[in-house]
Each structure stands twice: as C-alpha cells, then as structure tokens.
Amino acid sequence: MNAYPPPYRRRYQVIEGIMSPVSDNYGKKGLVSARHRVAMAKLALETSDWIRVDPWESEQDTWTETVKVLRHHYNEALRAFQTKKEFMRDRHPTESSTEDSLSCQQPVLPELKLLCGADFLQTFKTPNLWKEEDIKEIVEKFGLVCVSRAGSDPSQFIQESDLLSKYQHNIFLVREWIQNEISATQIRSALCRGLSVKYLIPDSVIAYIAQHNVYTAESERSNEGQLLQPLRLPNTTINL
C-alpha cells in the first residue's frame, strides 16, 4: 500500500507544495471571500521555502472540479519543464551524448499528486458528489497522498473499492504521528467567542483576521441552507 516504502528505494523528491483555496461559489457555510483566504494562506506560508498558495482556482468564475485543478497545475508544471529542458539543451549544444552526462543534465518530468486528509477520501462514497471518471483520472494519472490520523486506517476503504484498489500503487497513505486535530470550524467558532487561537494558527493570520474583522457571527451564516456547488450539478451515479 506504499505506506512505508523501503528506505533504500527513495523514489521521490518533493519539489513543491501548492495550496489551492476553493472559489467563493463553492457555497460552503461560513466561507469568507477568497481574497481573504488567499491573503491568509500567503501569510501562513511566509516561513515555508517550498509551499506556496496559488489563487488560480479561487479566481475562476465558477466552482472548478478537483480534476480540472489538477490538470491546470500539471499543465503549468509541464510548461515549466519544457522551458527548462529547452534552456538546458540550448546551453549545452555540443554536449556529447554519453549516458552519464545526459542523465545528470536531463530534468525528470515531475508528477503532480493530490494531497488530502482521510475525510476527503471518504467523500468518494458520497452519492452524486464525484464522477467516476474523475476519480479514475485522479488516481491513475496523478496520484493521491492521503494523510490520516493515528488510529484511523483508510486501507480497508480502499480495498472495498474496485477502482481504488486497482490503483493503490498510486495512493500513498501517510500516518499522522502527532494528534493534532485543528479544525478550521472550531477556530472560527473560538474567534467569534473571543477565545485565544494563538499557537493554533500563525500569529500573522491572527493579526490579519483581527485587522480585517474576517470572522463574525454574520460570516458564519454565509451560504446557510445552501447545497455545495458540486451537489447542484447534474451528475452520473457513482459506482465505486
């Protein structure tokens, strides 16, 4: 199941992390404007040298299916890869094609994987939420990295699904070794009640929230009673 790859294999090098906030028309209860959510993510990621926030998805006019977001970012990565390959080729036009020099120079095509929590994996079961061909594309062409809390084990869920078990070699199960369940819903609730969230979210984000008065009793009521956008679309029945 790839949960504990043998150390000597060391197959992957993570070169980048992308945080993609959903667009406002996702319609989730309590969702504040993307402008704020992107700004807060930027602040939170200030001290990271490899993770960045990408506002593309949040800037789309309509809600974008996850598989489309993956395709977009993969195309961007591919474009960057091509550019890099051409640049390196142009720099070394007289390089003799010995295997050694080529393998050192040749950039390797990156893979883009969807990072999620175990809850996300479970949503594959929700009726009418996912198209089966989208799930297939996610696990076949891209791959899933699913982080779950200690004591929870999604491998059974995967085994019970024909589709997921077929591509289990591309589903990586990561065990969270620290019990650290910081729910954004609880954070918003605490903020509305004037309780401290210091040391749970970054200081810079706390300051931003205070300065812009982001979370209020009113913001918590936004989209109340509405269905999530993906549930409003006509959809084929999923057979996992």
Question: Which positions touch a second copy (CB under 8 A)?
Answer: 47-48, 177-183, 186, 190, 195-196, 198-200, 203
Nearest distance in Å: CB 108, a second copy: 23
Instruction: Report the residue number, 140 or 203, with the smaller CB distance to a second copy.
Output: 203
Distance set, CA 120 to CA 32, 81, 97, 238 (Å): 21, 30, 46, 16
Residues 6+ apart with CB under 8 A from 12: 111
Give the angle 140-230-77 at the CA atoms, nearest 5°. Answer: 40
Nearest distance in Å: CB 6, a second copy: 16
Instruction: Report the residue number, 106 or 186, with the smaller CB distance to a second copy.
Output: 186
Instruction: Report the residue number, 8 or 177, with the smaller CB distance to a second copy.
Output: 177
Nearest distance in Å: CB 128, a second copy: 31
Contact 123, 117 (CB under 8 A): no
What's the one-letter identity of residue 84?
A: K
Report the Cα 2 to chain-centroid distance in Å.
19
Joined together, the tokens standing for residue 162 give 């024909």
**What is the chain's alpha carbon radius of gyration, rounded to the nearest angstrom?**
21
Nearest distance in Å: CB 151, a second copy: 11
Instruction: Report the residue number, 150 or 231, with the smaller CB distance to a second copy.
Output: 150
Instruction: Report the residue number, 48 or 216, with the smaller CB distance to a second copy.
Output: 48
Residues 6+ apart with CB under 8 A from 5: 11
Nearest distance in Å: CB 174, a second copy: 11
